[in-house]
Structure 1
Amino acid sequence: MDHKVVIDLTGFEQLCFNCRAILEDGPKHRIHGYLLCTECADIVSLLRVHCWQACLVCALADEADDIDCEDVQNFLDKPNTFVKQYDWKHCAVCDESEGLLYTPCERDGQAETAIGIRAQAIEEFDEAERTDHSLFLRFVHDQMAFHRDNQNDAAVEELHSVVIGKFRRIFGHKHWRTITAMQEYGQMLCGKGHYEQAEALYRTLVDDADPEHGPDSVAVLCIINALGSVYAKRRKLKEAETMFVRALDGFKRQVEKKDVRTLTAAFNLAGIYQDRGKLSDAMRMYHVAAYGFKDIAGHSDPTAITAFTHLAALCSARGVVEEAERAYNFALQGLAESHRQNSIEVLSLKLGLGVLLRDQQRLKDAENLIQEAYKCLREAASDYAPGALTCLGTVYARQGRVAEAEMSFMDAAEELSVRGDDDATYANLFNLGHLLHNQNRLAEAEAMYRKAWDSARLVAGLKHATSCTIVEALGSICEQQDKYEEAEEIYKQSLARDECHIDRWTSFVLCINFHKMTGYN
């Protein structure tokens, strides 16, 4: 599963994008995705009212209409001495309506000039200018945007290295500006799939942060979380767990328990616990993350929805019925509030909730939910449709509607044979065999059980719980027909050396899917 990156909200994210002033607690102004202080947001609103389309950086009286140039100059936070020093005639930030405060103003063939000016300013930034670093950050941001827009990864990497080197020398290794720059560079590496390089980058910072010399700062904790995410991507699950535990413990001490950073670390740790098969621990962490994000961001928060979805599935599998049903409903409520009522995600949740109700013998409610999910999945040509039809067949079977159940299983078998979904195939064949067995159609039932067993031992192995369930049914039906030698051979094969090896989590998933589609544990 994907793990979330924590941004140090005490640093980069809580600075005004324009003037770099630290934003106070409370509601924030966000324009085109960028956080602004109240003063800057007011000026942007003023510019919009007057439909000012001129370059914001030039701040020339004849272009500014009736807007006071001094206000514009303050808004830009660009000292006149700097503009004069570089004879800067073209801005780095302009109002392009959709790229307000961000898009490089490099029209009229001035791109190379603008790039050169910014590169020179970045290169000459040194310790003497540390008190006026906001302009430096502005140039870095614009230069980075240009290189990314042009997919110049080498230039982006070089610029990141320059920034990190300067910040380390000027501010120090543990300063939040240094750490934020390194985190952004690490995110870029991860985005390109360069996880080994990202790991080495984050590792240097984490190694420098010695817990014996005091608790980790919030900025360092963000890096620790990022390193955990990289470990998870590289399937170093034990190391990832160590990092996420450290991040979670640190955030609990440094910020509130329901702070987004604390909850994100809990969410990430839950995913690692789940991948490592520590299901009780995973349930506990998903519970913390799900209800925490719901409380601070509402039901429709994407992480809350994801956490509730995982929590529902795990609780359902572990038989924690009330908690599972509550989690399913919260996840569905969140998706409805985010206007995703008809998504595959919603249909999958409805199917899971329907199965939960089936297992509680609330068959009418289960039928309605599963039938609705199947109909929509079939219309969407989803790969989940045959599995939903199989689940619907199990409800019909429990209601005594044998003909409808058999038809559902037969139709699902036909669809699954086309799609090649082996684990769903053997569950469906087992259902059909069980239905025929209960009707005393022993020869037909035996044939279905044999097909199910052939498929199960290829997917899960001879000794997997699902294979053993099928073997027990197949051996029993052979004995009923006085085929004792065949039954003995089946049992011997089941006890033979198994060449199929699957990890703990895959084994668990196969068991869960088999239970969903058959109702057997």
Structure 2
Amino acid sequence: MVTGDGMEWALYNLGSLYAEQDKLDEAEKMYQHVLRGEEKAWGPDHISTLDTVNSLGLLYKSQGKLGEAEKMYQRALQGNEKALGPDHTSTLTAINNLGILYADQGKLDEAAKMYQRTLQGYEKAWGPDHTSTLRTVNNLGILYKSQGKLDEAENMYQRALQGKEKALGPDHTSTLDTVNNLGLLYKSQGKLDEAEKMYQRALQGKEKALGPDHTSTLDTVNGLGNLYCFQGKLDEAGKMYQRALQGYEKAWGPDHRSTLHTVNNLGLLGHCKDARRHWAQIIYADQGKLGGAEKMYQRALQGCEKAWGPDHTSTLDTVNNLGDLYRSQGKLDEAEKMCQRALVGYEKALGTDHTSTLNTVDTFGLLYKSQGRLDEAEKMYQRALQGYEKALGLKNVTIYRPALDTMWNLGDLFVAQGRLDDAKEMYSRARASFQTLLGSSSNLCQRLERRIASLDPTQGK
């Protein structure tokens, strides 16, 4: 930011400090004060004013105020285009920020247009191997992964990785971020061995470059925990989550978003049917104030509501998880309230066909089945499955774990309805996909084999 007023400069820096400390309300007050001063001194379209507008957009995004963030980003973009031209790097930064926001809102087509425009601008301004260009390539990879375009995502990540290794070296933290993203992608593709190699490379590199307790290192620790959980390696997953949680609490405090996300992951692990009995004695032994999955979720929910408000997508993620936990506990009225809150919030924030929305639709199907409302449960499952197919495509839906869970749930529902042929078809679809993801010898595939066999009326005769 450029300004002739030393006081405004100091207030802006103070706002930035508050933002880094996650004191978002205090940061907003500082930025608003600075913005009013700059608008009065320089006018609404001065580049210094627009810098502060952009900072307010970033802040609003952190607060989950996505509508306000979009207004700020649009204002910054229009002002920069007018003052500096459509291809100026400041303009491109505003375009990139809009792309990130659209991606968070689930407006993936709009996000892709912003990223493509940013990429073309950076390639023209700085060349294909500049770090800003490669950062946008990496963002496109993230977006393609969200769209289920996994081959395109892999191409972007590989381009970003090769460029960063060449420009920055194999052990640079930016390079390692892309390595970490490749781990996430390989997990989505069912390439679990390759995923683990990427995570381990990212973790070892970050431990060496940043130290074992740096928050970026802990992010990879948490990601490795997610992979181990997906593989059914629950002991290893719990150790990763505990390490991440202790590190985040030390670095950020108990109410920071990263801490709360890991608390939520521990809740999920404790909620896992196969893990709960074992982890009741292990995960929470050092957390006397947090005795179980429900307390983990409650802690995460209270922290998210305080940090971002009741309608932020991170808050809604925990609301959804808490609803599913209540369902498994037989607290069906409480479960329905949580699921309804999550569904309404997701539909408003992300739209009816976003995968987070559809995950909650699937949870509603489970709830209705538990309540004996089988026709309503089927409608929820069918809506979720059709939505996944629309959002991800028929090819990529076969390796998206929530969609496979919905197929399995539909199979269980058809059994309850006496529709055994439909159940066999749905179980067979799920089994084929789990074989691709986990291998035919996996526990999940074996369980599906037994369910399919149990539908044979000649079984045991």
Q: TM-score, normalised by structure 1?
A: 0.46
Q: What's the offset of the Cα at 1:315?
A: 3.4
Match of 1:270 among 163, 167, 183: 183
Q: Is the 8 A contact 1:209 1:216 kept in 2?
A: no
- Within a 5 Å distance, the mapping from 1:146-165 to structure 2 comes to 151=68, 156-157=73-74, 159-164=76-81
Q: 1:331 Cα deviation (Å)?
A: 2.1
Alignment partners' CA distance in 2, 1:97 and 1:497:
54
Residues 420-478 of structure 1: CA deviation (Å, up to 9, x unaligned): 8687999xxxxxxxxxxxxxxxxxxxxxxxxxxxxxx99544999xx8xxx9xxxxxxx
User: What does 1:362-511 align with in structure 2 at a 5 Å threshold?
Assistant: 368-369=281-282, 372=285, 375-379=291-295, 414-415=330-331, 419=335, 459-461=406-408, 496-498=424-426, 501=429, 504=433
Equivalent position of 1:52 in the other structure? none
Shift of 1:350: 8.2
Q: Which amino acid aligns with 1:339?
A: G
For residue 343 of structure 1, report the CA deviation from its aligned partner. Answer: 5.4
SS at match of 2:281: helix
* Cα distance change of structure 1 residues 202 and 326 upon mapping to structure 2, 3 Å threshold: same
Change (3 A) 1:176 1:276: same
* Distance 1:246-1:353 versus aligned 2 partners, 3 A rule: farther
Corresponding letter in the other structure for 2:15: H
Task: Return the offset for 1:332.
Answer: 3.7
> What is the distance in 2 between the residues matched to 1:352 and 1:203?
38
- For the residues of structure 1 that align with 2:155 and 2:138, how far apart are their CA atoms? 10
Does 2:270 match 1:339? no
CA–CA distance in structure 2, aligned partners of residues 189 and 458 of structure 1: 28
Q: Distance in 2 between matches of 1:244 and 1:298?
A: 25
| AA of the residue aligned to 2:49 | F
Cα offsets for 1:245-264 (capped at 9, x unmatched): 21122111111434332222
The residue aligned with 2:100 is: 187
**Partner of residue 104, structure 1:** 35
Superposed counterparts of 1:247-326, under 5 Å? 247-299=160-212, 301-315=214-228, 318=231
Q: 1:330 to 1:493 in 2, by over 3 A?
A: same
Q: Within the alignment, does 1:32 sit opposite 2:25 as a pair?
A: no
Q: Give secondary structure in 1 for the equivalent of 2:159.
A: helix
| Pair 316,33 (structure 1): closer, same or farther in 2 beyond 3 Å | same
Change (3 A) 1:345 1:204: closer
What pairs up with 1:29-108 in 2 under 5 angstroms? 31-33=14-16, 99=30, 103-106=34-37
Question: Structure 2 CA distance, aligned partners of 1:312 and 1:335?
Answer: 14
Q: Describe the shift of the 1:237–1:270 C-alpha distance in structure 2 as closer, same or farther (beyond 3 A).
A: same
Q: CA RMSD in A?
A: 5.8
Q: Is residue 141 from structure 1 mapped to residue 51 from structure 2 by the alignment?
A: yes
Percent identity among equivalent residues?
18
Match of 1:327 in 2: 240
Aligned positions, number: 329
- Give the AA of the match of 2:193: S
Q: Within 2, Cα distance between the matches of 1:297 and 1:18?
A: 34
Greater helix proportion: 2
Query: In structure 1, the residue corresponding to 2:34 is in which secondary structure?
Result: coil
1:221 CA displacement: 0.8
1:204 aligns with 2:117: yes
Normalised to the residue count of structure 2, the TM-score between the two structures is: 0.51
- CA apart distance, 1:324: 5.2
Q: Give the CA deviation at 1:294.
A: 4.2
Give 1:161 shift: 3.9
Change (3 A) 1:315 1:18: farther
* Contact 1:347/1:376 (8 A) holds in 2: no
The separation in 1 between residues aligned to 2:3 and 2:81, in whole angstroms, is 21
1:174-206 deviation per Cα after TM superposition (whole angstroms, max 9, x unaligned):
x75554343234335445554323312322343
Q: Match for 1:284: what amino acid?
A: K
What is the CA–CA distance in structure 2 between the aligned matches of 1:424 and 1:514, rounded to whole Å? 22
Q: For residues 217 and 368 of structure 1, do their structure 2 counterparts lie closer, same or farther at Cα, with a shift above 3 Å needed?
A: same
- Please list the CA deviations of residues 238-278 of structure 1 after superposition, one character each: whole Å capped at 9, or x if unmatched: 22222122112211111143433222222222222222222
Name the counterpart of 2:385: none
Match for residue 352 of structure 2? Answer: none
Mapped partners of 1:358, 1:200: distance in 2 = 43
In structure 1, the gaps of 5 or more residues are: 1-15, 20-28, 36-95, 123-136, 390-410, 427-456, 472-488
DSSP-derived class of the 2:253 partner: coil
Query: Match for 1:327: what amino acid?
Result: M
Question: Hey, what's the Cα distance between the residues in 2 that align with 1:297 and 1:102?
Answer: 36
SS in 1 for 2:162: helix
